[in-house]
Structure 1
Amino acid sequence: MKRVLGCLLAVLMLLACAGCGGKQPGGESSGAEKNGEEKTLTGTLDEVKDFMFVVTDDQGNSYALTFEGGVPEGLADREVGDRVTVTYTGELSVVDPFTGTVLSVEKAD
């Protein structure tokens, strides 16, 4: 009886662990990241580092955009204080880390 109960508990634990490893709805990635939808953010370039930069929009919200594998197109030509338009894919949030790709940083009109 103890063996049957032990095997049953082991199977239940295995099923519970398998349920936790599921994919997000829509596949491996969801939202704009999956379909490559390009979005833009216009604001003032506040800070530039080797792996990220900060842009503050007209409402006063600051966004930290990280990048890997080289500086995004146009960022090297911009200076702190410039008004810029950032083209990106993914999700941008004031509180959560940036999850996406910066495509370009252009001087705004």
Structure 2
Amino acid sequence: MKKRNLIAVLMMTAALAAGCGAKADTTTAAPTQAETTKAETTQAETTQSETIQSESQKTEEKTESVTGKIEEIKDFMFTIESDKGTYAMTFDTAPEGLSDVKEGDEVTVTYTGELSEVDAFTGTIISVEKAN
């Protein structure tokens, strides 16, 4: 009797385990033409909105300037020492007027963004002019 009960319990456990492990047959329907068009329209509107927002942020950035002596000029940056501190200013393309100055010149740098002696410069250098 005990063997029969043991076999019955083992068979029921195996059946339950097999039932729990079965995967449901899920199929996903391809999006309809209307759904695809709606998604594309929404994406286009979002991209246009981001572009407008980005352009308005650029125009809202205030332009500032700092006057000081150029300490070092490299291919991607220069260092300027002013009475307020020493700043490393980086750029992707050489700003207007940088080729006209050399190390040791007094210059006025026009830029957007924030200057910091400890944090990296994240703004844009608009121009470098030799100070009079």
What TM-score do you get using the length of structure 1 for normalisation? 0.66
Structure 2: gaps spanning 5 or more residues = 1-52
Q: Residues 99 and 90 (structure 1 numbering): CA distance in 2 closer, same or farther, change over 3 Å?
A: same
Please list the CA deviations of residues 33-64 of structure 1 after superposition, one character each: whole Å capped at 9, or x if unmatched.
661210001000000000000000024x1100
Structure 1: gaps spanning 5 or more residues = 1-26
How many pairs align? 78
The aligned residue for residue 54 of structure 1 is: 79
Kindly indicate whether residue 122 of structure 2 is the aligned counterpart of residue 73 of structure 1.
no
Q: Which has the higher contact order (CA 8 A, sep 6+)?
A: 1
Highest CA radius of gyration, 1 or 2? 2
Report the identity percentage.
53
1:64, 1:100 → 2: CA distance?
12
Q: Which has the higher helix share?
A: 2
Kindly indicate whether residue 122 of structure 2 is the aligned counterpart of residue 99 of structure 1.
yes
For the aligned residues, what is the CA RMSD? 1.8
